[in-house]
């Protein structure tokens, strides 16, 4: 019995690509057919090079397609007005060349996903959901305490407020940082913060989590 082959598609939840990354993707698309042409286009225009895209559209890429019709592979880069990404890598043919190119491109793009998405979208909400009931229970036990409240209670209320904020703001940060595609090279990007946004967000997250864990441990001592 033979397995039915179909076209393949993959949509990463986040992506961060600079000019050198886009050039590498074009090289990957030509691996199976070195003389083939990779079309660079959007909904309106086909461009002969990334330089032409830069001239007409500027460095920020909101909508662009890279297509190798000979091999049967395409990459759709799209940033919606809500800042979410609908980036999709897909094959358009059923062939060994298309499948091989797909897996090579997928492996490359997986290394260009933003690590902050996992922490802000998965870890942070899970921690907040765990902390909020614990803080609520402890605050309930002290509900009849007369002011002035002990410092530990005030700190616990602060932790509770942080957890509520994290639960609400985590998804917003997740979606606002899901997509960054630019025709600038990574070292040419004028914004140091933009290039290192993930590192800053993760450092801030770990710093706040450290404070929260310390306060909770201090309370139970």
Domain count, the chain: 2
Q: Is 176's pLDDT higher than 60?
A: yes
| Contact by Cβ (8 Å): 184, 59 | yes
**Where does a domain end: 76, 110, 144?**
110
ω into 148 cis (within 30 of 0): yes
pLDDT (mean) for 206-219:
69
Q: What percent of the chain has pLDDT over 90?
A: 36
The CA distance from 199 to 190, in Å, is 17
pLDDT (mean) for 29-51:
93
Residue 29 pLDDT grade (very low, low, confident, very high; cuts 50, 70, 90): very high
Q: State whether residue 78 is helix, strand or coil.
A: strand
Ranges 1-10, 71-80, 165-174: which has the least confidence: 165-174
75: in domain: yes
Residue 13 pLDDT grade (very low, low, confident, very high; cuts 50, 70, 90): confident
Same domain, 77 and 139: no
191: in domain: yes
Expressed as residue numbers, the domain containing 149 is: 116-220
SS (H, E, C) 16-44: EECHHHHHHHHHHHCCCCCCCCCEEECCC
59: in domain: yes
pLDDT (mean) for 95-101:
95
E-strand spans in the chain? Answer: 9-10, 15-17, 39-41, 46-47, 63-68, 73-78, 88-91, 179-181
- Highest-pLDDT range among 13-22, 138-147, 176-185: 13-22
Same domain, 106 and 156: no
The CA distance from 178 to 14, in Å, is 4
Q: Is 195's pLDDT higher than 60?
A: no
Which residue from 117, 118, 120, 114 is spatially nearest to 21, judged by alpha carbons?
Answer: 114
Ranges 33-47, 49-63, 193-207: which has the least confidence: 193-207
Token pair 């800053």: residue: 200
4: in domain: no
Q: What is the pLDDT of residue 194?
A: 57
2: in domain: no
Q: What is the pLDDT of residue 36?
A: 94
pLDDT (mean) for 143-157:
71
**Where does a domain end: 72, 87, 110?**
110
């Amino acid at each position: 019995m033979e397995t039915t082959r179909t076209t393949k598609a993959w949509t990463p939840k986040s992506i961060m690509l600079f000019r050198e990354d886009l050039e590498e993707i074009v090289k990957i698309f030509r691996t199976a057919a070195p003389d083939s042409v990779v079309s660079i286009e959007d909904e309106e225009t086909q461009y002969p090079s990334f330089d032409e895209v830069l001239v007409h559209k500027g460095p920020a890429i909101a909508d662009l397609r890279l297509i190798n019709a000979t091999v049967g592979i395409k990459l759709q880069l799209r940033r919606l007005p809500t800042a979410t990404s609908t980036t999709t890598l897909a094959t358009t043919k059923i062939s060994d060349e298309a499948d091989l190119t797909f897996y090579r491109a997928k492996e490359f793009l997986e290394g260009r996903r933003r690590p902050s998405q996992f922490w802000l979208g998965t870890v942070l909400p899970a921690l907040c959901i765990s902390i909020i009931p614990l803080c609520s229970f402890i605050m309930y036990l002290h509900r009849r305490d007369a002011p002035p409240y002990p410092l530990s209670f005030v700190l616990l209320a602060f932790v509770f407020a942080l957890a509520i904020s994290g639960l609400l703001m985590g998804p917003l940060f997740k979606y606002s940082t899901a997509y960054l595609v630019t025709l600038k090279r990574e070292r040419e990007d004028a914004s140091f913060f933009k290039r290192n946004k993930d590192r800053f967000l993760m450092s801030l997250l770990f710093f706040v989590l450290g404070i929260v864990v310390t306060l909770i441990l201090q309370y139970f001592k």
